[in-house]
């Protein structure tokens, strides 16, 4: 039962393989947000919609997952449907990839696992909602997402709306500085706040256009700092953000509930996100969807600008 291991790892879909071979732009998309981060049936609808947004932006979508022990970059319709509807899919960080492949498991990939597989396939740009990071109770729990360490050693540009606001955002930005991961705001001098347009914290660099982001990536390539990621923080438009007062109030409840119910490990992030959706009457979901859509559209433009300048 280990025949799948003789396949190329990761397995590329035909459109992704052809686009990469011809130097055309490809955008990687993560799958944890589909399987574990969003409620059904919005999740599956979004999976298809995000691929369409990438195509509209002139790039080829490459949703990443591990299905029946095969690590895949680029999924077909049935595979996307499995991600959106199948019960019992695992949440796979980068350390889970080898066991999932060796043991024939199926799961959605987090930012860390998606970035790893995408970079290995030669995909340069990746879009998600919000990155994982340092959790608020880090001193007692030591809970820091594997996303950060992986981005410190992976050649990929991640377009995101900052890090999830359930986290300790200042500590996360500090960790990114320590890890030497480049962070730039897209047309903003402040780090986006995921559901909120701004986290209230500054970023050192701002890019004003996809061309400027692509120029930054090419500078990483020639300087040899392309062994680590570029994080492009793309804020949700102010009119689509979650009301900041509501956000702060419900988030405090969610954190207290997680503590009370003893939620730990990989379960923490999905628990908090679901709690916010429920207790904001879906307003957090709408802000989350708006952020992801905007990030995917921008990622397609950055991937196109980068491909245009390097071919």
Classified as helix, coil or strand, 229 is coil
Which listed range, 139-147, 155-163, 281-289, 292-300, lies at the site for Mn ion (CB under 5 A)? 139-147
The minimum distance between CB 35 and ligand PSU, in angstroms, equals 9
Show which residues are catalytic.
30, 164
* Binds ligand PSU by CB under 6 A, chosen from 25, 61, 107, 132: 132
The minimum distance between CB 36 and ligand PSU, in angstroms, equals 6
Both tokens assigned to 132: 């994982």
Distance, in Å, from the CA atom of 9 to the CA atom of 242, rounded to the nearest integer, reads 40
Answer yes or no: are the C-beta atoms of 77 and 47 closer than 8 Å. Answer: no
- Total number of residues that touch ligand PSU (CB under 6 A): 20
Q: How far apart are the first and last CA of the chain?
A: 41
**Exposure of 191 in the CB half-sphere (CA atoms within 13 A):** 22
The gap from C-alpha 306 to its chain's centroid, in whole angstroms, comes to 19
Could you give phi then psi for residue 260, rounded to 5 degrees?
A: -60, -40
The minimum distance between CB 152 and ligand PSU, in angstroms, equals 14
Residue with tokens 């029946």: 68
Write out the binding residues for Mn(2+).
Answer: 143
Binding to Mn ion by residue 79, rule CB under 5 A? no
Which listed range, 144-152, 224-232, 234-242, 303-311, lies at the site for ligand PSU (CB under 6 A)? 144-152
Look at the alpha carbons of 103, 104, 107, 112 in this order and tell me if their dihedral is positive or negative.
positive
Crossing angle (nearest 10°) for helices 77-85 and 42-56? 140
The minimum distance between CB 34 and ligand PSU, in angstroms, equals 9
Which of residues 155 and 164 has its CB atom nearest to Mn ion in the complex? 164
Distance, in Å, from the CA atom of 101 to the CA atom of 29, rounded to the nearest integer, reads 19
The secondary structure of residue 41, as a DSSP letter, is T
Distance, in Å, from the CA atom of 120 to the CA atom of 265, rounded to the nearest integer, reads 27
The minimum distance between CB 236 and ligand PSU, in angstroms, equals 11
* Binds ligand PSU by CB under 6 A, chosen from 106, 154, 188, 269: 269
Which listed range, 21-29, 99-107, 143-151, 253-261, lies at the site for Mn ion (CB under 5 A)? 143-151
* Binds ligand PSU by CB under 6 A, chosen from 266, 280, 284, 295: 266
- Which x/- pattern, by CB under 6 A, does the window 6-35 give for ligand PSU? ------------------------x-xx--
DSSP string, 155-212: --EEEESBB-TTB-HHHHHHHHHHTT-EEEEES-SB--BTTBS--S-B-SEEE-SHHH
Binding to Mn ion by residue 143, rule CB under 5 A? yes
* Binds ligand PSU by CB under 6 A, chosen from 51, 147, 168, 226: 147
For Mn ion, the binding residues (CB under 5 A) are: 143
User: Which residues are near ligand PSU by CB under 6 A?
Assistant: 30, 32-33, 36-37, 110-112, 128-130, 132, 145-147, 164, 266, 269, 273, 288
């Amino acid at each position: 039962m280990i025949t799948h291991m003789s396949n190329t790892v990761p397995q590329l879909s035909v459109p992704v393989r052809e686009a990469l071979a011809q130097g055309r732009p490809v955008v990687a998309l993560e799958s944890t947000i589909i399987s574990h981060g969003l409620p059904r049936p919005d999740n599956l609808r979004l999976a298809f919609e995000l691929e369409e947004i990438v195509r509209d932006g002139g790039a080829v979508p490459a949703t990443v997952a591990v299905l029946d022990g095969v690590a895949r970059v680029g999924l077909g319709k049935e595979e996307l449907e499995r991600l959106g509807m199948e019960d019992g899919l695992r949440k796979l960080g980068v350390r889970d990839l080898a066991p999932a492949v060796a043991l024939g498991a199926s799961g959605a990939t987090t930012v860390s696992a998606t970035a790893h597989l995408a970079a290995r396939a030669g995909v340069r740009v990746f879009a998600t909602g919000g990155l994982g990071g340092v959790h608020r109770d880090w001193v007692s729990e030591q809970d820091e997402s594997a996303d950060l360490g992986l981005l410190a050693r992976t050649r990929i540009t991640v377009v995101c709306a900052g890090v999830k606001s359930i986290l300790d955002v200042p500590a996360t930005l500090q960790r990114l500085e320590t890890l030497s991961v480049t962070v730039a705001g897209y047309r903003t001098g402040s780090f986006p706040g995921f559901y909120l347009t701004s986290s209230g914290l500054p970023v050192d660099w701002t890019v004003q256009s996809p061309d400027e982001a692509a120029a930054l990536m090419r500078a990483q390539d020639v300087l040899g700092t392309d062994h680590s990621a570029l994080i492009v923080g793309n804020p949700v438009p102010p009119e689509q953000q979650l009301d900041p007062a509501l956000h702060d109030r419900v988030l405090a409840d969610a954190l207290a509930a997680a503590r009370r119910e003893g939620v730990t490990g990989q379960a923490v992030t999905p628990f908090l996100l679901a709690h916010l959706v429920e207790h904001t009457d879906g307003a957090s979901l709408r802000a989350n969807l708006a952020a992801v859509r905007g990030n995917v559209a921008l990622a397609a433009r950055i991937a196109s600008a980068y491909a245009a300048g390097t071919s």
